[in-house]
Structure 1
Amino acid sequence: MKLRKIVSVILMLFISVLSFAQSGKKLDKIIKRDYQIIECSIAKMSDKTVEYSLPGETVQISLDVSQIARIDFASGRSQTFDVTPNSATPNTSGQVAASAEMKPNTIAILPIPYVNSGTLETSEEMAKFAQNDLYNKLLDKSANLFPLTVQDLRVTNSLLHKAGIDYKNIDETPIEDLQKILGVDNILAAKVSYTITEGSTASTYNSGNAKVSDDNKKVKTNDVSTTTASTQTYYNYMVYFDMYKNGTKIYSQTRKPFLNIKDSWMDSISYLLKRSPIYVKK
């Protein structure tokens, strides 16, 4: 009788340990191209399908490999599936972004970070404004850029948005990935860094009424002295200007505007563009 009780206790302990081990088992992760993550146990893989079962289930589910971007196995090994023109490429955020069809001799203008180097604050409004300004400059000088074609700004920003990329993380994304996402072989990347300082100036104006004395000498009376103070705002810019072709940096310059006025960074952008390798004087 005692032996049966001992066997029962041992059996229950074994089942508990087994259940605990199964519940704590590391799972495989399937990262699909639509960003869905499936935690599962992979049973079988082939060139066309992956078969897996969900935790606590024995039924096997088949998934076409064309829907899979990457598999992170419980062992720590990862397998990334081939990227084709209609497939995907992982970006730095860990998501999967679709690759656009490659358009040769096309240049895309990236969002331009507009950063206060003192506070590290960025402005989305100014980043879009700067990007749009540079885009319009390229369109205006399109004859000087031949044979390059400028990618429509809406297309560029739409593809970046789908990939989860904006002015805040554009610097963290490799150029090779950006070219695949945008489908271009040329990229123009710029950045505007600035600080704002203020200076005060004062001017004094003297006035008075003069009259002639009995000895014909002029004397001043009722003198009035007025002092006016004004505050001047100075914008100290540094413009960074980079061009890439097929993943290789072909031009990199920085320029500080001659004037310290609010929009002087735009003059530096124009200056650097006209001296870049893609610009041909006519």
Structure 2
Amino acid sequence: MGITIRAYAKVNWSLSVKGVRPDGYHLLDMLMQPISLYDELSFENSRWLRMTVEGQGLPVGGRNLVMRAAQALNDALGTQRGAVIRLRKAIPARAGLGGGSADCAAALVALNRLWNLRLPLTTLVRIGATLGADVPFCLTGGLAHVSGVGDVLSPIDGAPRIPLVLVTPGGGLSTPQVFSHHDEMGLGVKPLDVGALADCLRRGDLEGAQALSCNALEAPAVDMMPQIGAFMQWFREQGAPFVRMSGSGSTVFAAFEDEARARALAEQVPGAAFAWSRA
């Protein structure tokens, strides 16, 4: 019997860059939460490992994080199991929404069940951390303080359900290039008060949350793709109390107290999507 699973996107309510390790990885301080936008993956046992993708074009070979997740499980156990994998994409690629990491996490969970491996979540998280910085978060979900290089997770209770509008301008951005441009710009560090920001979100105080949040990658991303800044300004002009770029871009998201207002604005922008933040 096959398995079908959803892989949920995420947003960064805040993202600070605290420094760079000697190996070149950036040290981050983030508040992250999954949202209702998702990809869907199905898995069936097979002698060989094969994959098809429906939707936005992604590499299907060894560079794809889903295929790498399957191979990582085989490598960890010294086996060579196979599966037919079908990925239906809805999360934009290169958008700062963690779509590739979410797909990778979903593959680890689904193949662990399909192949009856019975690996604990801690093992999947350890394997996932070798595949992508956001994979551990995508495995655990919920509202979380994420630090280090994405490998230090502190869950936060009471994840809020907030209506969001998302728009992804251009063809997305390269994460390494955005970080490189951030370093070139020599931007300072804004400390993140995780507790205060999470409290604002839980209370629905989106203006307070806006004042406490930041995204250190917005400035370099806007410099590389001015449409990002234009959409952020447009959302503010429409009265959105909270506007941020997610991750390294290029997705801009706006949060609203009122669902009807959010849905109405989503209909005004070609390609925009309505979503909920989720537990």
Above 0.5 in TM-score?
no
More strand by share: 1
More helix by share: 2
TM-score range (shorter-chain normalised) is: under 0.3
TM-score scaled to structure 2, two decimals?
0.20
